[in-house]
A and B are shown apart, each in its own frame.
Chain A
Amino acid sequence: METGTSEDSGRTTDRAAGGPAWISLPPGLLRMRRLLLVVWMGLLTVATGLLTGLLAGPGWAAFALLPLAVLLWGWPMLGRNWRSWRYAERSDDLLISKGVLWHEETVVPYGRMQLVEVTSGPVERHFGLASVQLHTAAAATDARIPGLDPAEAERLRDRLTELGEARSAGL
Chain B
Amino acid sequence: MTPPGAPEGVRDDGVRDDGLRDRAADVSRGMPDGRAAAPAPDERRLHPVTPLRRAWAPVAVIAGWAVHDPDQAQRHLTRLTMTTLLVALAVLIPAAALYGFLSWWFTHFSVTGTELRIRTGLVFRRTAHIRLERLQAVDVTQPLLARVAGVAKLKLDVVGADKKDELAYLGQDEARALRAELLARAAGFAPETAHEVGEAPVRRLLHVPAGVLAVSLLLTGATWGTLAAALVVPTLLWFATHSLWTVLATAVPLIGAAGAGSVGRFVGEYDWTVGESPDGLRIDHGLLDRAHETVPPGRVQTVRVVEPLLWRRRGWVRVELDVAGSANSVLLPVAPREVAESVIARVLPGVTVPGTVRPPRRAGWCLPLWWRGQGLAVTDSVFVAGHGLLRRSVALVPHAKVQSVRLEQGPWMRRRGLAHVRVDTGANKTVTARLRDASEAAELLYAQADRSDTGRREARPDRWMA
Residues of A at under 8 Å CB distance from B?
15, 92-93, 101-109, 111-116, 135-143, 161, 164-165, 167-171
For the complex, give the distance between the alpha carbons of A141 and B424 in Å: 7
Quote the shortest CB–CB distance from A73 to chain B (angstroms). Answer: 17
For the complex, give the distance between the alpha carbons of A57 and B20 in Å: 62
Decide: A92 and B450 in contact? CB cutoff 8 A.
Answer: yes
Can you list 16 contacts pairing A with B, beta carbon distance less than 8 Å? Answer: A93-B449, A102-B408, A102-B409, A107-B446, A108-B403, A111-B456, A112-B404, A114-B20, A115-B19, A115-B21, A137-B426, A138-B429, A143-B404, A164-B20, A165-B20, A167-B453
For the complex, give the distance between the alpha carbons of A111 and B94 in Å: 55
B42-97 residues with Cβ-Cβ distance < 8 A to A are none
Q: A140-B424, A143-B404 are in contact. Are A109 and B452 (CB under 8 A)?
A: yes
Residue of B134, B442, B450 touching A170 (CB-CB under 8 A): B134
- The dominant DSSP class at the B interface is mixed
B147 / chain A contacts, CB cutoff of 8 Å: none
Decide: A141 and B462 in contact? CB cutoff 8 A.
Answer: no
B456 / chain A contacts, CB cutoff of 8 Å: 109, 111, 169
Q: Considering only CB atoms and an 8 Å cut-off, how many residues of chain B contact the other chain?
A: 41
Decide: B425 and A104 in contact? CB cutoff 8 A.
Answer: no
Most buried by B among A113, A161, A170: A170
Decide: B453 and A171 in contact? CB cutoff 8 A.
Answer: no
**Is B401 located at the chain interface by the 8 A CB criterion?**
yes
Most buried by B among A15, A103, A137, A142: A137
- When C-beta atoms are compared, the residue in chain B nearest to A101 turns out to be B411
Decide: A138 and B405 in contact? CB cutoff 8 A.
Answer: no
Most buried by A among B401, B404, B449: B404
For the complex, give the distance between the alpha carbons of A82 and B162 in Å: 40
**Is B377 located at the chain interface by the 8 A CB criterion?**
no
For the complex, give the distance between the alpha carbons of A51 and B402 in Å: 55
A105 / chain B contacts, CB cutoff of 8 Å: 406-407, 442, 445
Decide: A141 and B403 in contact? CB cutoff 8 A.
Answer: yes
Quote the shortest CB–CB distance from A87 to chain B (angstroms). Answer: 14
- When C-beta atoms are compared, the residue in chain B nearest to A19 turns out to be B446
A170 / chain B contacts, CB cutoff of 8 Å: 134, 462
Known: A106-B406, A168-B20. 11 other contacts (CB 8 A): A93-B453, A103-B407, A104-B409, A109-B402, A113-B20, A115-B20, A138-B425, A138-B429, A138-B430, A140-B424, A164-B20
For the complex, give the distance between the alpha carbons of A72 and B459 in Å: 54
A171 / chain B contacts, CB cutoff of 8 Å: 134, 136, 159, 299, 301, 324, 401, 426
A142 / chain B contacts, CB cutoff of 8 Å: 406
For the complex, give the distance between the alpha carbons of A105 and B402 in Å: 16
B426 / chain A contacts, CB cutoff of 8 Å: 136-138, 171
Q: A136-B403, A141-B403 are in contact. Are A103 and B20 (CB under 8 A)?
A: no
For the complex, give the distance between the alpha carbons of A168 and B136 in Å: 18
